[in-house]
Amino acid sequence: MLENIVLLIFVLHILVAAFLLNIDKGNKLSNKFLAGYLIVTILDISNFLFSNFYYLHPNLDMVRSNISLFGAVCLYGYVNAVVYKDFKLTAKHFVHCLPYLLACFILVPNFFSVGAEGKQAFYDNFSDMPETIFILYLVYIQVGLYILAMFKVLNRQRKIIIENYSDEHHLTNRWLTQFISFYSLIYIIALARTFTTFSTYDNILTMLTIVMMFSLFLNICWILWQALNHPQLFIGVNSKIEVLADKPNIEDQSNHQNDIEKTTNDDLIAKLKSYMLLNKPFLDPSLSIDSLAKQIEVPNNELSILINRKIGQHFFDFVNTYRINFAADMLSDKNNQKKTIMEILYEAGFNSKSCFNRAFIKHKRVTPSQYRKNNL
């Protein structure tokens, strides 16, 4: 049974990796990173299918066994390539290869540089060898750190988006978050399986191996499903954009300066709110803080601080407040009774029903249809 599951996973990973490497459209770099992750998984589980081959080529087997150190590296590159549209590979990224090189290097004295008998003795005492224990700790610590780093990238992306964009399409990193979460689950299962190999509980080891393989199978099926149904899941952001929390919040010590700053801010807020009501820029679904700053002739950075710190709302919520009020007025207008809620949400600047419903309930505490019923 286990061999059949591994064979199915092996074939599916090869097919999806080949598909990703041959896609001409979309983000080619992110596709290559994801294909790289799948290839690493293929090599990592290949010993279940080709144990006789690796037995005859122990050096190749040991090189293969350390390849898992590249799995988290490829996923981290994939997350960055998806999230940041200006992400590029440079020489500094070579540092991510160092754990693999270190793992291979420490095996030189007692494995790579010895004869067939020495290699067999290493395998016979595999679980007790200090090199093996060190590499296991290296792998799991490295993967854990990369998982944290990936979630940090996703969190930073979300902060950039809600401070600079009004289009929820930019917030579709939910799939990517779920993907990394599922990878984290597989990591935990693999960690439990590894520690079980040092014990005498063979039944538990077999069960965890099957669970891990089945999880890998579900993972690749899910990736394939998403790739076929949602070919363009993400819109990248510029990595140069700063998160507002990272910018210094300078407080002037002079009361006179504070009074001047408060007056200036009040004037700008009044100007901004007047412009939003009169010109209705929020009806543009792709409105960003950059485009709004150009319209009211205020520096981008100044407008960002004004909305996020002085008004106390993220740009995303600030714009949606106007959109929801506009939609609410349309829903309560008898002249719009023949218009569907879908027509109204598009007119209000939303581009999806789910986004509109969430925002409407957040601001009005009722659904759009219930609001229309109550106010007509």
If DSSP states are collapsed to H, E and C, what string results for 63-82?
A: HHHCHHHHHHHHHHHHHHHH
Q: Which residues pair with 237 in a beta bridge?
A: 84
- Tell which wins on pLDDT, 217 or 365: 365
| % of the chain residues with pLDDT over 70 | 85
Using the structure block, give the residue that is written with the tokens 């090199």: 131
Q: Are 213 and 9 in contact (CB under 8 A)?
A: yes
Prediction pTM value:
0.74
Instruction: Evaluate if residue 118 carries a pLDDT over 90.
Output: yes
- Tell which wins on pLDDT, 104 or 211: 104
Q: Average pLDDT, whole number, for the chain?
A: 83
Give Cβ neighbours of residue 300 (< 8 Å, ≥ 6 apart): 289, 290, 293
Return the minimum-mean-pLDDT range out of 3-12, 155-164, 308-317, 346-355: 155-164
The pLDDT value given to residue 67: 92
Q: Are 186 and 219 in contact (CB under 8 A)?
A: yes
Query: What domains sit in the chain, N to C, each tagged with a CATH number?
Result: 2-229 (1.20.1070), 255-375 (1.10.10.60)
Mean pLDDT of 117-138: 90
Return the minimum-mean-pLDDT range out of 134-143, 171-180, 203-212, 338-347: 171-180
The three-state secondary structure class of 115 is: coil
The pLDDT value given to residue 106: 95
- Tell which wins on pLDDT, 149 or 169: 149
Amino acid at 320: N
The three-state secondary structure class of 172 is: coil
Amino acid at 149: A
Q: Are 103 and 130 in contact (CB under 8 A)?
A: no
